[in-house]
């Protein structure tokens, strides 16, 4: 697969973001205006500059770890059930606050945090054929990969629960790179932020999670000069007058692009190019491709790496549907056990995509960390 023409973003995406940004965001902009602002923002979101943010990001991820510790049961026991989506969204919001402490992870969030969330909650879309597309489109370009950071932890947790051998490999890598004591990891990273680049298997887990459960899509506007040629069909298929939906999840599960596409194999991103597991060129679309790919991908990857560093050796985190169902029964609420493709944590939505019931989890402190 090769990158060809980069078609304009669909106006549909701008219609939904306009109430917040008045059209002044990278998703809504086009042409010279977009090129000017993208070129101005690119240095700030470069890998080198993100590295200088790591000490500040560490503070927020440590706060995330403290929230998990408070939700644990103590003495190695499982704690109460809670929606992981809520606390991971708080983390994403605080990280994107940059120099402003938004305090989303504290009992006293800032006025901006409260006002912004209220604005989003009022953006539920009325029933229309476009609603499913909207639900699948997190506003990652509006505030720098906030969707990937907020969705990443719960999908990673689920994949690691299904593939516990990956947890062992992650722990071994963190011991080797950061030292055997998890409590000293933060100090080591502050002294040498570039050490995160050595976490190759950790990066593989993140990329494989985004392959199996993509956080982003793109919707492009068809053009008179751009037609599809479908194998086996003689006539070209015109795109003018249509919006083109890039189904990342379909691309990621095509066996011609990824060997054993339904297996969780982080190693596929570190094997040599001639290995059968190595992905076909330009098929991984965790942050999309081309000049309009997500500007915040370096930030998102750093945050998710740090989340794994501060959790995988300290906590056990698992889905807790049985506990969740009991709590709802005690509250007199309906228990919805519906599954999609054999998975209860499927994507639902209100304004943006969300996991079913907020991804109910429980956590305990690992005995080696007590």
What is the reported pTM?
0.83
Is residue 3 domain-resident?
no
How does strand 315-319 pair with strand 243-246?
unpaired
| Mean per-residue pLDDT of the chain | 83
Query: Does residue 65 lie within any of the structural domains?
Result: yes
User: 10 lies in a domain?
Assistant: no
Per-residue pLDDT at 130 exceeds 80: no
Which pLDDT score is estimated for 46? 87
Are the C-beta atoms of residues 160 and 167 closer than 8 Å to each other? yes
% of the chain with per-residue pLDDT over 90: 47
**Sequential DSSP letters for 220-287:** EE--TT-EE--TT-SS-EE-TT-EEEE-HHHHHT-TTTSSSTTS--GGGGTS-TTSTTSPPTT---TT
Lowest mean pLDDT among 101-110, 187-196, 224-233, 301-310: 101-110
Tell whether residue 166 is among the known ligand binding residues: no
Residue 355 lies in a domain: yes
Tell me what pLDDT residue 125 has.
44
- Where residue 136 falls among pLDDT bands split at 50, 70, 90? very low
Assigned token pair, 336:
């919805």
The edge-to-edge listing of strands for the beta sheet with 360-365 is 82-83, 360-365, 315-319
Instruction: Identify whether 283 is part of a domain.
Output: no
Token readout for 47 is 């890998």
Which helix (H) or strand (E) is 83 found in, with range?
strand 82-83
Handedness of CA 16, 298, 290, 260 (dihedral sign): negative
Give first-to-last CA distance, the chain, whole Å.
49
Long-range contacts of 287-293 (CB under 8 A, 24+ apart): 287/140, 287/145, 287/148, 287/210, 287/216, 288/216, 288/218, 288/246, 288/248, 289/3, 290/3, 290/6, 291/6, 291/38, 292/6, 292/9, 292/26, 292/34, 292/218
Q: What count of other Cβ atoms lies within 10 Å of the Cβ of residue 108?
A: 6
Q: Give the residue-averaged pLDDT of 1-17.
A: 70
- Assess if residue 231 is contained within a domain: no
Are the C-beta atoms of 229 and 236 separated by less than 8 Å? yes
Is 215 a member of any domain? no
Tell me which residue range forms the domain holding 86: 17-203+292-369
CATH code for position 330: 1.10.630.10
Amino acid 350: pLDDT: 56
Q: Which residue has the higher pLDDT, 18 or 327?
A: 327
Residue 133 has pLDDT above 50, yes or no: no
* pLDDT, tens digit, 9 for 90 and up, residues 60-73: 999 999 999 999 99
- Domains in the chain: how many in total? 1
What is the rounded CA–CA span in Å between residue 212 and residue 189? 29
Q: Which pLDDT tens digit goes with each residue over 317-342?
A: 999 999 999 999 999 999 999 998 88
Is 265 contained in some domain? no
């Amino acid at each position: 697969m090769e990158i060809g023409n980069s078609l304009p973003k669909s106006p549909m995406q701008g219609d939904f973001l306009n109430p917040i940004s008045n059209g002044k965001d990278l998703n809504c902009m086009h042409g010279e205006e977009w090129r000017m602002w993208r070129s101005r923002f690119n240095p700030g979101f470069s890998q080198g500059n993100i590295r200088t943010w790591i000490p500040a990001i560490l503070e927020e991820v440590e706060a995330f770890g403290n929230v998990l510790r408070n939700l644990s049961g103590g003495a190695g026991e499982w704690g109460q059930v809670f929606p992981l989506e809520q606390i991971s969204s708080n983390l994403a919001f605080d990280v994107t606050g940059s120099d402003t402490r938004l305090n989303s992870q504290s009992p006293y969030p800032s006025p901006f945090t409260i006002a912004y969330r209220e604005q989003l909650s009022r953006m539920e879309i009325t029933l229309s054929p476009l609603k499913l597309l909207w639900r699948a489109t997190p506003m990652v370009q509006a505030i720098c990969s906030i969707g990937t950071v907020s969705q990443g932890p719960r999908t990673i947790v689920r994949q690691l629960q299904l593939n516990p051998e990956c947890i062992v490999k992650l722990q071994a890598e963190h011991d080797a790179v950061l030292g055997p004591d998890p409590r000293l990891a933060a100090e080591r990273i502050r002294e040498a932020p570039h050490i995160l680049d050595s976490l190759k298997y950790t990066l593989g887990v993140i990329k494989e999670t985004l392959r199996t459960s993509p956080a982003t899509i793109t919707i492009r506007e068809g053009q008179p000069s751009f037609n599809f040629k479908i194998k086996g069909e003689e006539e070209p298929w015109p795109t003018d007058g249509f919006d083109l939906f890039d189904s990342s999840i379909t691309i990621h599960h095509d066996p011609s692009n990824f060997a054993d596409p339904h297996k969780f194999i982080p190693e596929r991103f570190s094997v040599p190019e001639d290995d059968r597991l190595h992905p076909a060129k330009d098929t991984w679309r965790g942050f999309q491709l081309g000049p309009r790919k997500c500007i915040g991908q370096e930030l998102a990857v750093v945050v998710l790496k740090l989340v794994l560093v501060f959790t995988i050796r300290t906590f056990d985190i698992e889905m807790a549907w049985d506990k969740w169902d009991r709590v709802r029964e005690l509250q007199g609420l309906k228990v919805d056990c519906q599954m999609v493709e054999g998975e209860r944590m499927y994507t639902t939505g209100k304004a943006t995509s969300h996991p079913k019931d907020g991804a109910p989890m429980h956590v305990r402190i690992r005995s080696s960390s007590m």
